[in-house]
Amino acid sequence: MSKRNREIGIHEAYQLDAQKADLELFGREYEESSRRGFLKKSSLMAMAAVVGSNIPFASNMPNGLIPAALANSEKPFAIPGKDGLVYLNDRPVNAETPPHLLNDEFTPAKHFFIRNNGIPPKMETIDAENWTLEIAGESCENPTTFTVKELKKKFKHYTYALQLECGGNGRSEYNPPAKGNQWTTGAIACGRWTGVRLKDVLQACGVKDDAVYIGYYGADTHLSGDPKKVVISRGAPISKALQEESLLAWAYEGEDIPYYNGYPLRLVMAGWPASVSGKWLKKIVIRNQVHDGPKMTGQSYRVPCNPVAPGTKVPNEDMCIIESMPVKSLITYPKSGVTHSIDKKFSFNGKAWAGELEVTNMEVSIDFGATWKKVKKLNKPLNRLAWQTWEASVKFPKTGYYEVWARATDSTGKKQPTILPGWNPRGYLNNACHRIAVQVV
């Protein structure tokens, strides 16, 4: 088939040029002054036909957004120990979790997303109790190697609920598109991790006064098969490593850590990009400089230090390392696309998190963000760096197609943006509001 005649799907069309897709599919034109999509009568009818109903607040709908009724994928992903994940890549394996499978208070292991950079060690080669962890580096006074059995015996155990989110979660919405796995909303999970505090182990080995950073190394192998190539070796400032909640973990939700999530030992430093929480952990180095392992330098897990126009080529020296993730939320119940009776209030709920901060307010909208209503309940986190559950209800004014949006505010007063935040070359930190489709009849 010639390129000219090739058919493309709605997601690809919006990814290539969202405004063009809006115009060609629905006849919706971009309105510069309001950033809304201007709908003529014919285009309104076209969109209503696609979503299956009239759209009471259509004039508020931002330009360049695929209607949520069309934005969900049902493609299943099958891998031992996992259930319901959406497949993104097989080399390395990457898969995300649909929002409605994140409705448990804590994410079950089977629903924990997979984000790999290389090939995990073979399961049959792993001896969990005798797995070793080396602590070294130029700012380590007494380099030491521990087995997992020794870590369990020598140090006090701690359990914390901790949220881990991939820095590229939401990348699929950026335009121009960024390379990499096209995550939508599902590279996030929160569960109870058990292990020993990283700070206890580091301090037992001696941390020199000039220590500024730590870095990690895992047992996964490079996609090239070259055993000398390090897949990924990221890290964090020593202040983050010494936090109460930074763990060397061997258990998740009371069981061994799932194989694809780092079994038998994982570094867990919640609130930052999950890439700093090294899997299949073998070594930690205490550094007297910012760690310079693979995917710590260049443009990996960095964003422009100052805002840039979409498509800008940003020099490496103008890119800054991502630290705490931004405030964000999801509607996890019900699943998008539900039909609801006009006679009843619509009750729904979800999760919210804010990197190293706390979520202090949650609001919802049924008119594409024109007005917002505070949720009826926002629960405190189980502990610092855990996500928070919330509940809300709304009454719809008349029948039709609605989108229910959710917006969180963190403890510094920062709110989620209603549409895509600042573009960046690698498509990180998209914390735009989540939305679900509701047909009111």
Residue 181, pLDDT > 60, answer: yes
Residue 24, pLDDT > 80, answer: no
The CATH code belonging to domain 328-440 is 2.60.40.650
Q: pLDDT tens-digit profile of 314-332?
A: 999 999 999 999 999 999 9
The predicted pLDDT at position 324 comes to: 98
Residue 183, pLDDT > 70, answer: yes
Q: pLDDT tens-digit profile of 66-75?
A: 777 766 555 5
The predicted pLDDT at position 57 comes to: 84
Q: Could you tell me the pLDDT band of residue 6, with boundaries at 50, 70 and 90?
A: very low
Q: What is the mean pLDDT of the chain?
A: 91
The predicted pLDDT at position 433 comes to: 97
The predicted pLDDT at position 5 comes to: 42
Q: How far is CA 409 from the centre of its chain?
A: 17
368 vs 58, more confident: 368
Q: Which residues contact 344 (CB under 8 A, 6 or more apart)?
A: none
The predicted pLDDT at position 12 comes to: 60
Residue 347, pLDDT > 80, answer: yes
346-353 and 388-394 strand pairing: antiparallel
Lowest mean pLDDT among 102-111, 221-230, 338-347, 422-431: 221-230
2 vs 159, more confident: 159
Q: Which residues contact 68 (CB under 8 A, 6 or more apart)?
A: 336, 403, 435, 436, 437
The predicted pLDDT at position 61 comes to: 77
Instruction: List residues bridging with 136 in a β-sheet.
Output: 285
What are the sequence ranges of the domains in the chain?
Answer: 10-72, 94-321, 328-440
| Rounded Cα–Cα distance for residues 249 and 258 (Å) | 12
94-321, CATH topology level: Sulfite Oxidase; Chain A, domain 2 (3.90.420)
Burial class from Cβ neighbours inside 10 Å (0-12, 13-18, 19+) for residue 137 reads buried
The predicted pLDDT at position 89 comes to: 79
The predicted pLDDT at position 1 comes to: 35
Single out the residue of 416, 421, 429 nearest to residue 324, CA to CA. Answer: 429
Average pLDDT for residues 121-135, to the nearest whole number? 95
Average pLDDT for residues 404-430, to the nearest whole number? 96
| Rounded Cα–Cα distance for residues 439 and 410 (Å) | 31
Q: Which helix (H) or strand (E) holds 62?
A: none
The predicted pLDDT at position 137 comes to: 98
Average pLDDT for residues 249-260, to the nearest whole number? 97
The predicted pLDDT at position 313 comes to: 95
Single out the residue of 435, 439, 431, 421 nearest to residue 369, CA to CA. Answer: 435
Single out the residue of 224, 250, 270, 258 nearest to residue 114, CA to CA. Answer: 258
Instruction: List residues bridging with 37 in a β-sheet.
Output: 30
Residue 148, pLDDT > 90, answer: yes
The predicted pLDDT at position 39 comes to: 67
Residue 78, pLDDT > 50, answer: yes
Distances from the Cα of 292 to the Cαs of 50, 184, 300, in angstroms? 50, 29, 11
Residue 4, pLDDT > 50, answer: no
Let me know if the fold of 94-321 is the same as that of 328-440: no
Q: Could you tell me the pLDDT band of residue 48, with boundaries at 50, 70 and 90?
A: confident
Average pLDDT for residues 372-379, to the nearest whole number? 97
Q: Could you tell me the pLDDT band of residue 359, with boundaries at 50, 70 and 90?
A: very high
| Rounded Cα–Cα distance for residues 248 and 146 (Å) | 12
Residue 7, pLDDT > 60, answer: no
Q: Which residues contact 43 (CB under 8 A, 6 or more apart)?
A: 26, 27, 28
Strands across the sheet with 359-365, in order? 338-340, 434-440, 400-410, 359-365, 373-374
| Rounded Cα–Cα distance for residues 91 and 225 (Å) | 12
Residue 9, pLDDT > 60, answer: no
Average pLDDT for residues 150-160, to the nearest whole number? 98
The residue type of 195 is G
Q: pLDDT tens-digit profile of 276-324?
A: 999 999 999 999 999 999 999 999 999 999 999 999 999 999 999 999 9
